[in-house]
């Protein structure tokens, strides 16, 4: 099937579905220009970063400055980055009443920035933070302002402020809501995920309807048997969804 034929099929599925949901992964963020942590240019490959320390909750409790050095880099990068066509397309689908919600493994906040409303950030978000002692809330800008003059942002109560990213050793967020969203979907998109990271990786299998997987490269069969995939697209996300948008206009 050509990309256009796949896009037409996908457009028809969108129009037929009364309940569509999305599971998005790192591939959607790399399309926006954020390096994949595990990719060749990723933070996990760098000599000065020990990946198992960076997002380890026990290590954070011992030395939060290790994480915050990465946070500063991330902040500079996120300041230059915009949601992709695909992020915005998904927000438009929701605004038209054609999308029930998004489960995302990404903590960069780009779905929110694109205008999506129902988003379950299963691995949390870098854009919000809380004090580990009193639970006080801190916004992204407030944390970044504190980091201009300190290695670690400290709450007025004296506690260390931690971003709402889910660290290793912490529970994922919204799992019940994510399971509900996927299990009742008539159409589920798996976008930019190789389905390697649990528990997000087992969510698509809960869908009893049609499943469309759009990802460049391999997708693990461990959690989603290939026989369950209705349409598999190995293409650039934005190129594919631009074609889908064109087909949606044609079909309507």
Residue 143 interacts with Zn ion (CB under 5 A)?
no
Q: Given the complex with Zn ion, which of 163 and 209 has the nearer CB atom? A: 163
3-state class of 212 per DSSP?
strand
Binding test (CB under 5 A) with Zn ion, winner from 133, 145, 220, 250: 133
Both tokens assigned to 137? 């809330």
Residue 134 interacts with Zn ion (CB under 5 A)?
yes
- Annotation-wise, does 134 bind a ligand? yes
10 Å CB burial of residue 237 (0-12, 13-18, 19+) is buried
Q: Given the complex with Zn ion, which of 155 and 211 has the nearer CB atom? A: 155
Residue 137 interacts with Zn ion (CB under 5 A)?
no
- Annotation-wise, does 74 bind a ligand? no
Q: Given the complex with Zn ion, which of 77 and 157 has the nearer CB atom? A: 157
DSSP H stretches of helix in the chain: 3-16, 26-32, 51-54, 57-62, 64-79, 85-95, 110-114, 140-147, 175-184, 237-251
CB 238 within 8 A of CB 84: yes
Task: Say which residues have a Cβ less than 8 Å from residue 111's Cβ, sequence separation at least 6.
Answer: 24, 83, 87, 90, 91, 102, 104, 119
Structural element, H or E, at residue 125: strand 124-131
- Annotation-wise, does 207 bind a ligand? no
Q: Given the complex with Zn ion, which of 15 and 134 has the nearer CB atom? A: 134
Residue 131 interacts with Zn ion (CB under 5 A)?
yes
Least CB distance to Zn ion at residue 5 (A): 56
CA distances from 210 to 41, 204, 248 (A): 34, 10, 18
87, 111, 123, 156: the catalytic one is 123
Residue 136 interacts with Zn ion (CB under 5 A)?
yes
Per-residue binding letters, 155-184, with Zn ion (x by CB under 5 A): x-x-x-------------------------
Least CB distance to Zn ion at residue 67 (A): 17
Distance, CA of 131 to CA of 109 (rounded, Å): 20
Least CB distance to Zn ion at residue 245 (A): 46
- Annotation-wise, does 182 bind a ligand? no
Q: Catalytic annotation on 123?
A: yes
Distance, CA of 132 to CA of 56 (rounded, Å): 15
Phi, psi of 3 (to 5 degrees): -60, -40
Which parts are annotated binding residues? Answer: 131, 134, 155, 157
Residues that bind Zn ion (CB under 5 A): 131, 133-134, 136, 155, 157, 159
Q: Which residues are catalytic?
A: 123
């Amino acid at each position: 099937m050509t990309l256009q034929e796949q896009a037409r099929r996908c457009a028809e599925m969108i129009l037929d579905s009364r309940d569509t949901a999305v599971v998005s992964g790192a591939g959607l963020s790399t399309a926006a220009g954020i390096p994949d942590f595990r990719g060749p240019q990723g933070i996990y490959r760098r000599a000065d970063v020990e990946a198992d320390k960076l997002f380890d909750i026990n290590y954070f409790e011992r030395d939060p400055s290790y994480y915050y050095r990465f946070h500063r880099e991330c902040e500079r990068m996120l300041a230059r980055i915009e949601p992709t066509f695909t992020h915005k397309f998904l927000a438009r689908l929701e605004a038209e009443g054609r999308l029930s919600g998004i489960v995302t493994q990404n903590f960069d906040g780009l779905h929110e920035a694109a205008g999506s409303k129902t988003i379950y950030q299963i691995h949390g978000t870098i854009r919000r933070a809380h004090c580990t002692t009193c639970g006080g809330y801190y916004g992204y800008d407030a944390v970044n302002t504190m980091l201009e003059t300190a290695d670690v942002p400290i709450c007025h109560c004296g506690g260390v402020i931690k971003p709402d990213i889910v660290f290793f050793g912490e529970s994922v967020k919204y799992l019940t809501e994510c399971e509900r969203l996927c299990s009742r979907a008539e159409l589920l998109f798996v976008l930019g995920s190789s389905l390697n990271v649990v528990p997000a990786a087992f969510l698509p299998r809960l869908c009893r309807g049609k499943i469309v997987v759009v990802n460049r490269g391999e997708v693990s069969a461990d959690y989603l048997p290939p026989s369950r995939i209705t349409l598999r697209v190995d293409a650039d996300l934005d190129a594919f969804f631009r074609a889908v948008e064109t087909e949606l206009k044609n079909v309507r």
